[in-house]
Chain A
């Protein structure tokens, strides 16, 4: 370029190369995509928060001392890390998208992140309240091993009969001293309830239960305490078709 006449040269180039302004819709589309992805990320973040809340509320707070050495150990082992990570990732994605909207740079980083977190908490609480979290937790069970090991480690924690922890669904009441429970892995256990503390509410067929006790033989478990297992509705399906079971009487001592 010469003689410091950049403007004239640029205009010539624009005309010679027939350069045109990009159409307005091109930019509008880009803006809409960024906003839509931002909102989708916020919704996914809210869903994650609702499941975190659901898992925390339904955690075994009442019997933590029987399954952990301390409250901290109990909290650390049962925190829903998978959903917390999901929540963090989508808050990050929402922040990234809103930061890249036209005026996004005007809002301070901490305000944008705080806004995303507050929205996720409020909307997530609403989703929890209307039962979406429970459905969500049920939907991700597809791969049960992954579910128990990663997504909801509480379910996995209760599938350790050798350590005195058994979770499953009550499928049959033999007599007042023995019941049959189908474990999360599908194995049938005969559970001796003679000396077990039972929950205050009636125990019914197909109800998910968590049992503390000890293994006494091949698939024989002696229960010390039996509790309903909240937040594990998916386990009801483990009971098989109810029509096959003709027993409706509650298990009462």
Chain B
């Protein structure tokens, strides 16, 4: 196991997919790479207990493993695995129930994108901002929640969102534009000071 983990370093996701098809231990490297990110993603879109989120993730990983031969290398592996997790959440819970109490900003980049795109004051307190963003997200339609979460919390670009949600790029652009409008409307209606 140690050897496999060591050998995984420097290998791309796509290379690991090929290796995992021959030796299941290599699949552990892929799972390790995505475990934390995907658990956080599941929590953001499903608002379920940690144990349930882990079960969903395990089911998703098994599905990914079973379908490794169907991985299309024209896609990014991350988009493909996010798609499978997204579909698994929907099939387990029928509906996304994003109700994050507070949002952890994974990187400064994500926060900066949000501030720039929504004309939010740079001096705003981050804890206040994360609470309010979570509250606003809760108010949005599911279809708008999912694109905003992918764009601003998971830091995915249009192409990746299109591949994850299996919708054309034009549709993603439209959804994002409408999601932003709805986001701003909720901020205004709730009189949040952002």
Contact = CB atoms under 8 A, between A and B. Distances in A.
Interface in B62-117: 62, 65-70, 72, 74
Interface string A105-117: 1111100000000
Contact of A22 (B28, B35, B69): B69
Nearest to B57: A6
A1 B70 contact: no
A143 interface: no
Contacts of A103: 74
Contacts of A20: 66
A14 interface: yes
Given A14-B27, A21-B67, 17 more contacts: A6-B31, A6-B39, A6-B57, A7-B31, A10-B61, A10-B65, A11-B25, A11-B28, A11-B31, A13-B58, A21-B21, A21-B69, A22-B70, A27-B69, A105-B162, A105-B167, A109-B168
Q: Pick the most buried of B25, B65, B162: most chain A CB atoms within 10 A of its CB.
A: B65
B124 interface: no
B75 to A, nearest CB: 9
B168 A108 contact: yes
19 contacts: A1-B51, A1-B55, A6-B31, A6-B39, A7-B31, A8-B28, A11-B28, A14-B24, A19-B65, A19-B66, A20-B66, A21-B21, A21-B65, A22-B70, A27-B69, A105-B167, A106-B162, A106-B168, A109-B168
Given A1-B51, A106-B162, A6 B167 contact: no
Interface in A1-43: 1, 4, 6-11, 13-15, 19-24, 26-27
Interface string B1-40: 0000000000000000000110011011001100100010
A106 B39 CA distance: 27
The size class of the interface chain A forms with chain B is 20 to 34
Interface of B: 20-21, 24-25, 27-28, 31-32, 35, 39, 50-51, 54-55, 57-58, 61-62, 65-70, 72, 74, 162, 166-171
A202 B57 CA distance: 80
A146 B24 CA distance: 61
Interface string A69-102: 0000000000000000000000000000000001
A7 to B, nearest CB: 4
Of the listed residues A10, A19, A20, the one surrounded by the most CB atoms of chain B closer than 10 A to its CB is A10
A23 to B, nearest CB: 6
Nearest to A109: B168
A202 B38 CA distance: 81
Contacts of B166: 105
Nearest to A104: B166
B54 A6 contact: yes
Given A1-B51, A22-B67, A22-B70, A9 B58 contact: yes
Contact of A108 (B25, B32, B66, B170): B170
B24 A15 contact: yes
Contacts of B74: 103
Interface of A: 1, 4, 6-11, 13-15, 19-24, 26-27, 102-103, 105-109
A21 B68 contact: yes
A40 B35 CA distance: 43
B35 A7 contact: yes
A44 to B, nearest CB: 26
A215 B84 CA distance: 72
A22 B74 CA distance: 20
B35 A6 contact: yes
Contacts of A13: 58, 62
Contact of B61 (A6, A15, A108, A109): A6
Closest 6 CB pairs of A and B: A7-B31, A105-B166, A1-B54, A27-B70, A24-B69, A21-B68
Contact of A21 (B25, B39, B66): B66
B115 to A, nearest CB: 31
A7 B28 contact: yes
Nearest to A102: B72
Contacts of A14: 24, 27, 62, 65
